[in-house]
Amino acid sequence: MNRVFISVNGNARVTLLCDSFCVVAKIVTTPGQDLTETDLSGKWFSSQAVVRAMSTSTGASSPYTTLSISHPAEFITHVELHRPEKLNSMNRAFWSEMVDCFNEIAMNSDCRVVVVSGAGRLFTAGIDLVDMASDVLSPEGDDTARISWNLRKTIVKYQETFTVIERCPKPVVVAIHGACIGGGVDLMTACDIRLCTQDAWFQVKEVDIGLAADVGTLQRLPKVIGSRSLVNELALTARKMYADEAKSSGLVSRVFADKEAMMAGALEMAGEIAARSPVAVQGTKINLIYSRDHSVTEGLDYMATWNMSMLQTQDVMKSAQAAMEKKSPKSVVFSKL
């Protein structure tokens, strides 16, 4: 049984007890109070109870002001959009904090998979227009050329906020409840696996505020949804897409009854991914994205070059032996990557 400790504002310590990669219990203790084996009796909770505790934490983790970071199980990082009082709208700090967060995750060998969710009653209301207005509407510059140059730098900076998710070699599972508006669609289309609740809805909102979406939706959504006509309709009309249509169109792969069930499902899925060889998992993500943007011939050539080195790993023999012995992949210990 593994234990993961999470401090909540320094006032209490949450102990998550994990069986393999599934969270099975939560125990809250005060600072300085030690946890003994005898403390465990009568304190077992369902994984959904742990999910509820994770989703209602009282503050974002330092050093971020818009994100709350936790580690619900070994090799799993939970990134929660954490401005619930502002409907998780994306202010100026958010755009840089996401870059810092995912750059750190990309280099962290203790993380093999990421779950992204939103705190409060919805996933995100999109861009915080009040906080961001000066960047977009009042760019600096002495003339049109310099104003345009500076505005382009700002747009490219904001594009990096979601490109960093796609570039991160660790698979990213996004779990969406309630509204996912504007920048939320940019964010989710940069993730690898998309889940939602039955009450979720999605809106490419940008045309309603007088601009073309410019940080990823128009580039990634056509490659996520098979119907170009549907993509055009959503982007040009700003109409809402609800969970059932999102599932049938391929925008999400699974729909859950409520947030607790979705988060439990997301953590279970993350556990399955984290149990596999990180060499295999990260190589799979990188090659899937490369093949999406290149021809089949180019993708195969890149794959051959990739695996001529990545096949030279102990992970292949470990995985094959476990399969022959009919053991679960979770029983195999892989080196960190």
The answer to whether 298 is a known catalytic residue is no
Q: For 121-234, where are the E strands, in sequence order?
A: 172-176, 179-181, 193-197, 201-203
CA distance 193 to 115: 9
* Beta-bridge partner residues of 16: 4, 26
Which one of the listed residues 186, 192, 260, 315 is annotated catalytic?
186
Which one of the listed residues 97, 206, 260, 315 is annotated catalytic?
206
Report DSSP letters for 94-130, one per residue: HHHHHHHHHHHHHH-TT-SEEEEEE-TTSSB--B-HH
Burial of residue 219 (CB within 10 Å: 0-12, 13-18, 19+) is middle
Closest to 147 in 3D by CA, of 134, 138, 157: 138
Return the C-alpha torsion angle 21, 22, 27, 33, nearest 10.
Answer: -10
The answer to whether 206 is a known catalytic residue is yes
The answer to whether 214 is a known catalytic residue is yes
CB 5 within 8 A of CB 44: no
The answer to whether 85 is a known catalytic residue is no
The answer to whether 186 is a known catalytic residue is yes
Residues belonging to the active site: 127, 183, 186, 206, 214
